[in-house]
Amino acid sequence: MIIRGVWLRATTNEGEFGFRFNFGRTLTIVRAKNSSGKSTLFNSLLYGLGMEELIGGKNEKVLPYAVKEHIEYDGRRVLVTASEVLLEIESRSGEVVTLRRVIRDAVRDPKLIEVFAGAHVTHDRDFGEARPTYVHDGGGAKRPEGFHRFLETFLDLNLPRVPTTNGGETKLYLQAVFAALAVEQKRGWTDYIANVPFYGIRDARTKVVEFLLGLDVFETNAERNRLNAESIEIDADWRKVFDELRREANALGAVVDGASASPSALFKEREASVRKLVGISSVPLPEHISQLRAEHAALQKQAELYHKASGAEAMGSVTAAMDELQRLSLLHERATARYSEQRVSLAEYEKLLAESNEDLERNKTAAKLRDLGAKHDVATAVGKCPTCNQPVDDTLLAGAVSGPQMDLAMNIAYLDSQRRMLIRQIAGLKAGLQTAEVRVAELADRIASKRDLLTAMRGDVTSGASESKAIVRRQVQIEVEGEALEKLQAKATELCARLGQLAIRISANQTARRGMPKEAYGAADIERINRFQLNFRANAGSFGYESAPIREVEIGKDTLVPCLAQMELREIRTDIKSDSSASDFVRLIWSYLLALHQTSATPSSPGIHPGLLMFDEPGQHSMAVDSQHALLKQLASETSLQSIVAASFDEAEEVFRQATQGIQFTLIEWDGKLMRPANSPAS
For residue 349, what pLDDT is reported?
87
Separation CA 423–CA 425 (nearest Å): 5
Q: Does residue 463 register a pLDDT over 70?
A: no
Mean pLDDT on 399-415: 70
Structural domain including 272 reads 233-349+427-514
For residue 577, what pLDDT is reported?
34
Separation CA 115–CA 133 (nearest Å): 7
Which region among 118-122, 133-137, 457-461, 618-622 has the lowest average model confidence (pLDDT)? Answer: 457-461
Q: Is residue 316 part of a domain?
A: yes
For residue 571, what pLDDT is reported?
44
Q: Is residue 476 part of a domain?
A: yes
Q: Is residue 144 part of a domain?
A: no
Q: Is residue 301 part of a domain?
A: yes
Given pLDDT bands bounded at 50, 70 and 90, which one contains residue 400?
low
Predicted TM-score (pTM) of the model is 0.68
Q: What SS3 class is residue 185?
A: coil
Other C-beta atoms lying within 10 Å of the C-beta of residue 35: 10
DSSP codes joined into one string, 61-126:
GGS-GGGTTEEEETTEEEEEEEEEEEEEEE-TTS-EEEEEEEEE-SSS-TTEEEEEES-SSSS---
Q: Is residue 134 part of a domain?
A: no
Q: Does residue 110 register a pLDDT over 70?
A: yes
Helix 625-637 and helix 653-660, axial crossing angle in degrees, nearest 10: 40
Separation CA 67–CA 9 (nearest Å): 9
Q: Is residue 439 part of a domain?
A: yes
Measured between alpha carbons, how far apart are the two ends of the chain, in Å? 25
Separation CA 555–CA 681 (nearest Å): 48
Those residues whose C-beta lies under 8 Å from the C-beta of residue 540, and which sit 6 or more positions away, are 550, 553, 587, 588, 591
Which region among 101-105, 204-208, 461-465, 508-512 has the lowest average model confidence (pLDDT)? Answer: 461-465
Residue 620 · residue 557 · CB < 8 Å: no
Sign of the four-CA dihedral 639, 644, 650, 653: positive
Residue 41 · residue 83 · CB < 8 Å: no
Separation CA 492–CA 218 (nearest Å): 43
Q: Does residue 49 register a pLDDT over 60?
A: yes
Q: Is residue 373 part of a domain?
A: no
Given pLDDT bands bounded at 50, 70 and 90, which one contains residue 579?
very low
For residue 449, what pLDDT is reported?
74
Q: How many domains are contained in the chain?
A: 1
Q: Does residue 570 register a pLDDT over 70?
A: no
For residue 402, what pLDDT is reported?
53
DSSP state of 671: S
DSSP state of 388: T
Q: Is residue 72 part of a domain?
A: no
Please state whether beta strands 15-22 and 2-12 pair in parallel, antiparallel, or not at all (unpaired): antiparallel
Residue 24 · residue 10 · CB < 8 Å: no
Separation CA 175–CA 133 (nearest Å): 16
